[in-house]
Amino acid sequence: MKNSKILILGAGLSGLATAYYLERNGFKSTILETRNRLGGRIHTIYKKDEAPVELGATWMGKKHTHLIHLLSNLKIESFIQELGKKAIYEPISTSPPQMVELPSNEDPSFRIANGSSSLINSLANHLTSSEIILNAKVISIKSKNGIIEVNTMSESFDADFVVSTLPPNLLINTIEFIPSLPKELIQIAKNTHTWMGESIKICLTFDFPFWRKNSSGTMFSNVGPISELYDHSNAEDSYYALKGFMNGSFYGATPNERQNFVLDQLSKYYGDEVKSFRNYHECVWRLKSPTFYPYDGYILPHQNNGNPIYMKDYMEGKFFISGSETAPSFPGYMDGAVESASIVAQKIINLNSKMN
């Protein structure tokens, strides 16, 4: 093992993949994660005799080659997201919902077999010499005499290299830097959109996929509060679920109110069978503080994602800003998390070989 002390902030896909790429090249690292779980914006709920429910990232496409390559290395399979032949479409509140024919899909989306968290768990299982510390919220980073000191609420760590995988807006607003980072970087980070940070996912699990009788689980609505819905049954098609996005502005409602909104809207399309659900699951990501941080003003989806400023190094070449939003190809997506991990791991490997 090479001797540089490497600290990674965040045990989401990017942090775990960085540690994985480093370890394959003989470097061990320590990951500091504020949550009490791995995965960050990847969060699958597993319940006995139910379809795995994705409260975070779900879909990938053939263009996501960094992610596909990693899944193939880890021998993790994927399966097509079925949309069905017909979908429900609700364009306006003054007319009833319509049934529309779906064209054949030349470029389907795929889901990770047994849930997106199986990628997270597999990466963690491959880390045999690296350490993951949960419940470790980083609050400050200081550069002094060529060493970086990283402080959590209760501990202090010295490192030769530090990689942040926090969404940039969260990083810049929640961690104190001494000395302060360049003004231009701060300005861009504060205006970097955190993909899906404001989203609400809702899901119902069922014993029987009754929605397939007359249509499919695919629904698009301009009326809401659910704007999109999909069949979320498992890869084997043995456990059934419907999952979608609720308009993010419903974050102020109670979970019970949101559940009632979901049942009311879906009963309109599918009838009372909707009420035979086994479990209701939801995640209001805006309220999950280690992801979203409010912006100073209005910013666009994906604004400043992949900005080249994130390819520079900071604190005398020892601090790197990584994570999905920094990736050049598909920032904000799982593919971006993996690409950013491979870029930063390679930078550290190169720097280390120059030092020795």
Ligand X SMILES: Cc1cc2nc3c(=O)[nH]c(=O)nc-3n(C[C@H](O)[C@H](O)[C@H](O)COP(=O)(O)OP(=O)(O)OC[C@H]3O[C@@H](n4cnc5c(N)ncnc54)[C@H](O)[C@@H]3O)c2cc1C
Give the orientation angle of helix 13-24 with respect to helix 334-355, to 10 degrees: 40
Q: How many C-beta atoms surround the C-beta of residue 29 within 10 A?
A: 26
From the CB of 11, what's the least distance to ligand X, in Å? 5
Is the peptide bond preceding residue 179 cis, with omega within 30 degrees of 0? yes
Least distance CB 195 / ligand X (angstroms): 5
Smaller CB separation from ligand X, 14 or 265: 14
Which of 166, 203 has the CB closer to ligand X? 166
CB 75 within 8 A of CB 114: no
Query: Which residue number, 21 or 195, has a Cβ lying nearer to ligand X?
Result: 195
Q: Which is nearer to ligand X, 97 or 189 (CB)?
A: 189
The CB-of-33 to ligand X minimum distance in angstroms stands at 5
Residues belonging to the chain: 356
Between 109 and 259, whose beta carbon lies closer to ligand X? 109
Residues facing residue 30 across a β-bridge: 7, 131
Residue 267 has what DSSP assignment? H
Q: Between 2 and 290, name the residue whose CB sits nearer to ligand X.
A: 290
Q: Which is nearer to ligand X, 127 or 334 (CB)?
A: 334
* Alpha carbon 334 to chain centroid, angstroms: 6
338's enclosing H/E stretch is helix 334-355
Q: Is the dihedral of CA 58, 63, 65, 68 positive or negative?
A: positive
Task: Say if residue 225 is preceded by a cis peptide, omega within 30 of 0.
Answer: yes
Q: What is the torsional sign of CA 327, 328, 329, 330? A: positive
Residue 25's SS3 state is coil
Q: What's the closest the beta carbon of residue 72 comes to ligand X, in angstroms?
A: 16
Q: Could you tell me the end-to-end alpha-carbon distance of the chain, in angstroms, rounded to an integer?
A: 13
d(CA 348, CA 355): 10
Query: Using CA atoms, how far apart are residues 240 and 49, in angstroms rounded to an integer?
Result: 10
Reference 262, options 205, 310, 224; nearest CA is 224
| Cβ 325 to ligand X shortest distance, Å | 7
| Residue placing its CB nearer to ligand X in the complex, 241 or 334 | 334
Q: Which is nearer to ligand X, 55 or 97 (CB)?
A: 55
**Least distance from ligand X to the Cβ atom of residue 85, Å:** 23
Q: What is the rounded distance in angstroms from the CA atom of residue 149 to the CA atom of residue 160? A: 9
- Least Å distance, CB 53 to ligand X, is 12
What are the residues binding ligand X (CB under 6 A)?
A: 9-15, 32-35, 40-42, 56-60, 137-138, 165-167, 170, 174-175, 195-196, 199, 201, 285, 290-291, 323-324, 332-334, 336-337
For ligand X, the closer of residues 72 and 267 by Cβ is 72
Q: How far apart are CA 60 and CA 180, in angstroms?
A: 37
Smallest gap, in angstroms, from Cβ of residue 315 to ligand X? Answer: 17
CB of 271 to ligand X, least distance (A): 28
**Distance between CA 189 and CA 293 in Å, rounded?**
11
Q: Shortest gap between Cβ of 331 and ligand X (angstroms)?
A: 8
Which tokens hold the place of 267? 């009963």
